[in-house]
């Protein structure tokens, strides 16, 4: 076994990682609740806030994953690997900008739909790194399929929304799917890392 996974210092650093994923779960739950409210009220403001909350979840997830990988894996990365690992950070940052612009009433319906596509693409691109990341004992299989499924659905719904097919409703449904996919993924990862922590 790689000695880096037996290093007590690395194990101690898993705790903030797990705490971060608890926060991500809360953010995803809030995003789902807001999206449901947005669907019920057809509110552009609530929809824009949903985009912003989900952006925060993506940013935290991506940054936590990068930090954990750098701490535990300790291997040099190619430019492509770095991009794949940072995809959710990039997607979260882009979504945050889109959400703020939508909240400022700048083409809100269009930007909310675009954010669904951005988040979906971020999940798909981020999942490209999962097979290499899953070589770590901390991560179990299943992460890739969950992210790809949620990402593809998000992209498809976002594109349909851009085609003006019930745009706000489809965008909010995409947000729910993306939030649920991210939430389930983080539960899986959190459980895997927790078990690894206990074993150590």
Residue range 44-89, pLDDT digits in tens: 999 999 999 999 998 887 777 766 666 655 454 555 555 556 788 8
CA proximity to 153, closest of 170, 169, 167: 170
Contact 25, 187 (CB under 8 A): yes
Q: Distance between CA 109 and CA 122 in Å, rounded?
A: 20
Q: Tell me which H or E stretch contains 137.
A: none
pTM: 0.79
Q: Tell me: the pLDDT tens digits for 113-164? A: 999 999 999 888 877 655 455 445 444 445 567 778 889 999 999 999 999 9
Residues near 21 by beta carbon (within 8 Å), at least 6 away in sequence: 61, 64, 186, 189, 190, 193
């Amino acid at each position: 076994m790689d000695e880096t996974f037996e290093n007590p210092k690395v194990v101690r650093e898993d705790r903030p990682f797990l705490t971060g994923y608890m926060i991500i779960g809360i953010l995803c739950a809030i995003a789902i609740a807001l999206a449901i409210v947005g669907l019920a009220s057809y509110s552009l403001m609530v929809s824009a806030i949903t985009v912003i909350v989900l952006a925060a979840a993506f940013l935290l997830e991506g940054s936590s994953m990068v930090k954990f990988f750098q701490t535990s894996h300790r291997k040099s990365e190619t430019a492509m690997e770095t991009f794949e690992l940072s995809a959710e950070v990039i997607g979260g940052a882009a979504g945050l900008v889109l959400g703020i612009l939508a909240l400022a009433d700048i083409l809100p319906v269009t930007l909310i739909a675009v954010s669904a596509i951005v988040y979906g693409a971020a999940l798909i691109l981020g999942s490209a790194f999962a097979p290499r990341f899953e070589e770590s004992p901390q991560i179990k299989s299943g992460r890739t399929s969950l992210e790809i499924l949620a990402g593809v659905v998000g992209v498809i719904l976002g594109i349909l929304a851009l085609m003006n097919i019930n745009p706000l409703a489809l965008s909010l449904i995409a947000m729910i799917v993306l939030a649920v996919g991210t939430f389930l993924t983080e539960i899986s990862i959190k459980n895997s890392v927790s078990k690894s922590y206990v074993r150590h």
